[in-house]
Amino acid sequence: MISIATLIGAGIAPTQARLWAGPLAAAALRFGIDRPVREAAWVSQCAHESGNFIHLEENLFYTTAERVRAMFPSRVPSLDVAATLLRNPKALANRVYANKNGNGDESSGDGWAYRGRGLIQLTGRANYLAAAAALDQPYKTQPDLVSQPLHAAMTAAWFFVSANGLVLADASNIDALTRAINGPAMAGRDDRRQRFEQAVRAFA
C-alpha cells in the first residue's frame, strides 16, 4: 500500500513522501497498480526518473557546446551550432525535438511546449495527446499541468501501464521495464534495480 510510511521505507525523503503519497495512491488505484511488486516497480522507476520526486521538468539549460553535442549528436551537427543553443532551453528544445514524437518543425514551438514533464518524463505532442485522451485532461492546450503532482502521478501511471508495466512488474523483470520506460540506453539501470529491491521490502 502506498503511504507516507511505505514511501519513506522505499527511500523517499519524508518531505517528498508527504507531498506524493496522496497523488501516487490515487493514480495507483485508478490504473491497477495494486500489488506490492507493482507498487515497488512503479515507484522505483518514478523515483529514478524524477531524482527522488523532486524534478518534474526536463532540464534543457546547458552551458557548454560539448555537452549539447554529447546529449543530442544527431540533432546538433557541430559545436558551432551547439554554441547558439547555450543557456537557451526554449531554442534547444525546439531544435532537438522538432519532427519527433508527433511534434511539428522547429518553428512550430512544439519541442518546447511538449518538453519532458512529470514523474516519467512525458515528451512530445503525440504522447501528450495520448495521455490527454486516456485521462480526459486538457494537456494539449495546458501541457504545464503535467508538472503538478496529481497530473504527474496520473500520467506516470498511465505511461507505466501502457508500456506493459503491470506484466513486467509481476515478473520482477526490471531490466525489461527500464528498457520500456527509458529506451535501449537503459540509463540508470543499476540504480533502478537497487531502488526496486528496497521498495519491494518496503511495500511487502
Boundaries of domain holding 81? 65-113
Amino acid in position 190 = D
Residue 137 in any domain: the answer is no
Asked if 8 and 50 sit in the same domain, the reply is yes
User: How long a stretch of residues is the chain?
Assistant: 204
Cell of 186: 537503459
Q: pLDDT truncated to tens, each residue of the chain (204 aa)?
A: 999 999 999 999 999 999 999 999 999 999 999 999 999 999 999 999 999 999 999 999 999 999 999 999 999 999 999 999 999 999 999 999 999 999 999 999 999 999 999 999 999 999 999 999 999 999 999 999 999 999 999 999 999 999 999 999 999 999 999 999 988 888 899 999 999 999 999 999
Residue 38 in any domain: the answer is yes
Asked if 199 and 157 sit in the same domain, the reply is yes
How many domains, in total, are found in the chain?
Answer: 2
Asked if 52 and 70 sit in the same domain, the reply is no
Question: What share of residues in the chain are helix, strand, coil (percent, to 5)?
Answer: 60, 0, 35
Asked if 197 and 97 sit in the same domain, the reply is no
Asked if 70 and 50 sit in the same domain, the reply is no
Asked if 38 and 69 sit in the same domain, the reply is no
Q: Give the C-alpha distances (Å, rounded to integers) separating 80 from 61, 71, 86, 195.
A: 17, 15, 11, 40
Asked if 51 and 69 sit in the same domain, the reply is no
Asked if 73 and 104 sit in the same domain, the reply is yes
Residue 31 in any domain: the answer is yes
- pLDDT at position 183 is 86
The DSSP bridge partners found for residue 57 are 117
Residue 181 in any domain: the answer is yes
- pLDDT at position 16 is 98
Asked if 52 and 71 sit in the same domain, the reply is no
**204, 14, 25, 198: CA torsion to nearest 10:** -30
Is the pTM higher than 0.95? The answer reads no
Residue 141 in any domain: the answer is no
